[in-house]
Amino acid sequence: MLLSLLLSYSAFAAYGPDLEGDLLAEGASSEPADTGVVGCSDQYLKDGVLLPDLPLFLTRVQPGHAWGTREMTDLLVDTSRHMRWLMPEADPISIGEISAEHGGFLQGHKSHRGGVDADVGLYMTGGRQNPRQFDTPGPGQFDVEANWMLMASFLESGKVDMILLDRGLIAKLKAYTLQAGLLSEEEANAIFLGDAHEGYQSVGVVRHAPSHEDHMHVRVLCPDGSKASAR
């Protein structure tokens, strides 16, 4: 079931424990919104939503650049609450830059212009996250189990277009899911693409991108389920 939905690429199956009703953000939905609007822009942000300050669940590393689409902010809130439920002793998720209030160019980024991209911190051993900055995991510091649960929580939402991460960390996650029996080889290959697939132009889910060894970059779909584009 998971694999067939991944290959269809229109939605993702629920993977892992079901979200309890009280863990969902108010008004949030895992289904694409029927707004009558086709597509959305990845160059500017209209009617942006500020990611709420929820210190029990998440930390905004750059509060001034924490503006996103409703789909993005709902996803981050829902996922942070889900992770709190799964790992109550872990640190809140560190959320880096999303977009400026009205989108547009953001210093240090090629994307992050339309509220559909967010940088998310990685769990270190024991579920630790730095609330002030992203840290690159040293030898033995990458909490592969916690980071897979985080990634699976994003994928199960049905709102994710792609996730960018360093190829070395992708390899660790793929090996873990196979060794733990969480995914079949066919399912893992559908989620974790090989080294030939990277960046925004590739077709797939989890892709390698340079300079993503200290965070994962999550891009969401538009309200109608289509991909954001320059418009």
27 lies in a domain? no
| Total tally of structural domains belonging to the chain | 1
26 lies in a domain? no
24 lies in a domain? no
Strands 49-50 and 215-220, sheet pairing: unpaired
Confirm if 132 and 91 have CB atoms less than 8 A apart: no
22 lies in a domain? no
Does residue 10 carry a pLDDT above 50? no
Average pLDDT over residues 15-37: 37
Residue 28: the pLDDT is 40
Q: What CATH code is carried by the domain that includes residue 66?
A: 3.30.1380.10
The per-residue pLDDT for range 38-76, each reduced to its tens digit, is: 678 888 788 899 999 999 999 999 999 999 999 999 999
Does residue 201 carry a pLDDT above 70? no
Confirm if 104 and 113 have CB atoms less than 8 A apart: yes
The more confident residue out of 140 and 201 is 140
Instruction: Mention every residue, 6+ apart, whose C-beta is less than 8 A from residue 88.
Output: none
Distance CA 60, CA 183 (A): 32
159 lies in a domain? yes
Phi/psi at 218 (5° precision): -110, 125
Residue 176: the pLDDT is 97
Q: Which domain holds residue 159?
A: 39-220
